[in-house]
Chains A and B, each alone.
Chain A
Amino acid sequence: MSMTRGAHVADAVTTSRLAVEMEHVTKRFSPQGPDVLQDVSLHVRPGEFVSLVGASGCGKSTLLNLLAGLESPSSGMIATDGAPTLMFQESALMPWLTAGKNVELALLLRGVPRRERKDMAMELLTMVHLERSYNQRPHELSGGMRQRVAIARAIAQDRRVLLMDEPFAALDAITRDLIHEELTRVWQDTGLSVVFVTHNVREAVRLGQRVLLMSSRPGRIVKEWVIDIAEPRRLDSPQVADIASQITDELRQEIRRHAH
């Protein structure tokens, strides 16, 4: 199934083999307003992990909202391999449900029959090492555990594309380090295509097979790095640090342009 949205729907009849395809997408929130995104083209192959970095105001979140179908582009074409799922900075778990029932809610809304839900939810929680937390409420879990439940819930939706909007920004360093390993493993096991937005450059390098740098006002993709470091990667490894510092230099130049 391919989902197509945008101004030039006719262009998209050629069903893409890509997980995510954005062609010359421009987004402004009012007809006379400034371009929040300007002529953005983005291709993500199936199973690829792409990180997007940029300073504030680069339209990262807008880009994800466009991909998630929560907003539509002013011009250009967007196609994704099925409706994507989206993870937020906050876990957005429903506080009235236990961790297990949160995962089951995703299964229910996907149409999984009742009797299969519990076992599936347990399996998904086991995948993120939270099988013991099935009956715990979100407020009883730490921030990192909540985000792992959110990962399990996202996987429960059985979508092909996972969009992540700075999901680990609020976590402490140790927890983030572990959840990076967790996410890498889940991604490798599921073959999901991931678009991961962050303003943490090292995190982008640690996780992504490609890192895209976005400029701010208007948001455009200005540079791309292919990250060719073998897994398991570590956030504090010299290779990661090396590429991260290159990207940081470029990012700083981008930010300096707005000094005047």
Chain B
Amino acid sequence: MPTNAVAHADDLSTLEAGLDNLETYRGNRPSWKSSIVKMLSPLIAIAAVLVIWQVIIYLQWKPDWVIPSPHQVFNSLGAQATQGVLYQATFNSIKRAAEGFVIALAVATPIGLALGLNKYLRAIFGPLLTGLQQLPSVAWVPAAIIWFGLSSATIFTVVLLGAVPSIANGLIAGMDQIPPLYLRAGKVLGAHGWTKVRHIVLPAAWPGYLAGMEQGWAFAWRSLMAAELIAITPALGPGLGQMLDQGRQLGDMALVIGSVIVIMAVGVLVDRLVFAPLRTRTLRNRGLTR
């Protein structure tokens, strides 16, 4: 046994290093192979749908103005694309939804924080927020048209009323689930007021907040489509909702189905490219991956 203090400290550090190495497990990150497989696996579902669809067409169960073939739908979208409408409509719709979502985030975050931190505000306004979340935001379209006419303001109103309650409620749920220990530790560390919100509350509530954002995006997107279907004017320019309505008016079922597919595809892509990476990162950082 070493007698002098330096040797003793040295002994301790090697002993500790040994134990640390024995006790820690560095979780292996998923390999690029498995990530590619994971990324491509949804294609299987798409292929299956296409096969079933094509079989229905071969059986000639319904006329093609009721169920168009994949080929017709593809051509119809191709025609829209060559006219530049598909690109313009998709771009416009995504831009509107993204802008609406960012505004919704800016509105919902202070609301969520206020209601999550203050039980009186929560008791007063909580039910109202839940009520707004229950209400399909398309129900606001008639009112918004009367207030704002056929304008961007109408569309943004509907998008906001769709997204804000989801984001705010997600943040509140995230705050409710913060283990009290973190708040006590924050207090001991000297976090008060805004520093507490910034460095303890918001990061601790982040998983719920993120889930609220995902839901808020979905609500923003579907509210936008509803608004675009109803509020149609050349002044607003093309959107996917307008493209869908145009298909209906022309009795062009291929365009209708094509528009629906594009609307769904945008939703899936935004989830895959924006929210899924954030979600995976959050879970992995906190050791919540299985």
Contacts and interface: CB of A to CB of B under 8 A. Distances in A.
A binds B: yes
Interface of A: 68, 70, 83, 85-86, 88, 90, 92, 94-97, 105-106, 108-110, 129-130, 133, 136-142, 144-145, 153, 157, 174-175, 178, 181-182, 185, 232
Contacts of A157: 189-190
B23 A142 contact: yes
Interface in B163-200: 181-182, 184-185, 187-191, 195, 199-200
Given A137-B286, A182-B16, A109 B195 contact: yes
A94 B25 contact: no
B287 A92 contact: no
B188 A86 contact: yes
Contacts of B191: 109
B131 interface: no
A140 B287 contact: yes
B16 A90 contact: no
A96 B203 contact: yes
Interface stretch (B5-13, B59-67, B266-274): B5-13
A52 B287 CA distance: 35
B195 A145 contact: no
A92 B26 contact: no
B23 A94 contact: no
Interface of B: 8-9, 12-13, 15-17, 19-20, 23-27, 181-182, 184-185, 187-191, 195, 199-200, 203-204, 206, 285-287
A92 B184 contact: yes
A245 B148 CA distance: 82
Contacts of B188: 68, 70, 85-86
A140 B182 contact: no
A96 B182 CA distance: 11
A142 B25 CA distance: 9
19 contacts: A70-B184, A90-B181, A94-B185, A94-B204, A105-B189, A109-B190, A110-B190, A129-B16, A136-B24, A137-B285, A137-B286, A137-B287, A145-B23, A157-B189, A174-B19, A175-B23, A181-B12, A185-B9, A185-B12
B177 to A, nearest CB: 13
Given A106-B189, A178-B15, A139 B184 contact: no
Interface SS, B side: helix
A96 B9 CA distance: 32
A129 B17 contact: yes
Contacts of A105: 189, 199
Contacts of A96: 203-204, 206, 285-286
B185 A92 contact: yes
Contacts of A182: 12, 16
A232 B6 CA distance: 12
Contact of B8 (A92, A97, A232): A232
B19 A175 contact: yes
B286 A139 contact: yes
Interchain residue pairs A-B with the least CB separation, the first 8: A139-B287, A142-B23, A92-B185, A95-B286, A109-B190, A96-B203, A86-B188, A129-B13
A136 B287 CA distance: 11
B204 A142 contact: no
A181 B2 CA distance: 14
Given A86-B188, A105-B199, A109-B195, A178 B285 contact: no
Nearest to B195: A109
A96 B287 CA distance: 9
B287 A145 contact: no
Contacts of A133: 20
Given A86-B188, A94-B182, A129-B13, 20 more contacts: A70-B184, A85-B189, A88-B185, A90-B181, A92-B184, A94-B200, A96-B286, A97-B203, A108-B199, A109-B195, A129-B17, A133-B20, A137-B287, A142-B19, A142-B24, A145-B23, A145-B24, A178-B16, A182-B12, A232-B8
A85 B199 CA distance: 18
B85 to A, nearest CB: 44
B225 to A, nearest CB: 35
A109 B181 CA distance: 18
Choose among B8, B13, B20, B286 the residue with the greatest number of A CB atoms under 10 Å from its CB.
B20
A141 B9 contact: no
Contacts of B184: 70, 88, 92
Choose among B16, B23, B26, B203 the residue with the greatest number of A CB atoms under 10 Å from its CB.
B16
A138 B204 CA distance: 14
A122 B189 CA distance: 18
